Amino acid sequence: MAIENIEILKKPIANDITETIGNTPLVKLNRLTEGIDANVLVKLESFNPVSSVKDRVAVSLIEDAEKSGKINKDTTIIEPTSGNTGVALAFAAAAKGYKLKIILPESFSIERRKLVKIFGADLVLTPASEGIPGAIKEAERLNEEIENSIILQQFENPANPEIHERLTGKEILVDTDGDVDIVVGAIGTGGTITGIANAIKKEKDDFKAIGVEAAASPIITEGKKGSHKIQGISPGFIADTLDLDVIDEVVTVEDEDAGKTTIALAQKEGILAGISSGSAVYAALEIAKRPENKGKTIVAVLADTGERYLSVEWLSDLYY
């Protein structure tokens, strides 16, 4: 569609920034799918207010805690995270007036740290060698130390997959008129792909949900954990928010393949996405090449924006 044909649609005025989450666009891949006889779409979660799929989760976690009476205006929210949930909680806490402490392994990008701080949250860094488990341990220590504090538990809280069942999955169904065969999503907490699978499988018996994990840390497919470079996925354990009963397949992606696909998305499709998005698209393209998927519609969920990774040296080495 030419730009002159774009319609201006009236939208309601949001009462606050948290009401702008969701309804992110689906975009067809063109140049990356040359020679592939399947329809590959990407869901751009970077169109959320602070540019990631975790914006949905952050608002859901806080509002669930509000409804259940677990937090009040004097509560300090604490959360261990690989970064995007921290940024998302920081924006939501700022909008709603809550104090927030984010616990982040120091190995994650500098952009994440700065974004957490600009929203006014406190940032606590933990050793890179300890990964997410180290951040969780520090969060638990702070929770015991700080009166009237709470850990929202994105790795355990059912409000995580529920928001994707209520919104993300249904958005995909609506935007494709129900014509979606496969959704591919990289697995961190697993809430995104679990919620999407729950929503779509209620409407389509033959739908498949496929998860992606880092080849260097195949905890789901092989029971092994290890260090890897795909920030935001494969934390080294299987979170309670991942329901493997609704996931039809989990595939692994090498760090370099994720990185190269991230660059290819930018340079061939004009889509600036994060490294985990690169892993999801790489997997989606490989899945699209399977003979049994000829003519099918495959959606890859792109979790965030590539602006959060411009300081990541190994990624920049691929395009400089």
Please list the active-site residues: 54, 276
User: CA 302 to CA 184: how far, in whole Å?
Assistant: 9
8 A C-beta contact, residue 17 and residue 93: no
8 A C-beta contact, residue 196 and residue 185: yes
Q: What are phi and psi of 178, to 5 degrees?
A: 80, 0
Q: What's the full length of the chain, in residues?
A: 320
Q: Report the sign of the C-alpha dihedral through residues 284, 30, 231, 164, in that order.
A: negative
8 A C-beta contact, residue 265 and residue 273: yes
User: CA 166 to CA 162: how far, in whole Å?
Assistant: 6
8 A C-beta contact, residue 181 and residue 226: no
User: CA 279 to CA 307: how far, in whole Å?
Assistant: 16
User: Tokens standing for 170?
Assistant: 């249904």
Work out the number of other CB atoms within 10 angstroms of the CB of residue 30.
10
Task: Decide: residue 262, CB within 10 A, 0-12 exposed, 13-18 middle, 19+ buried.
Answer: buried
3-state helix, strand, coil in the chain (%, to 5): 40, 20, 40
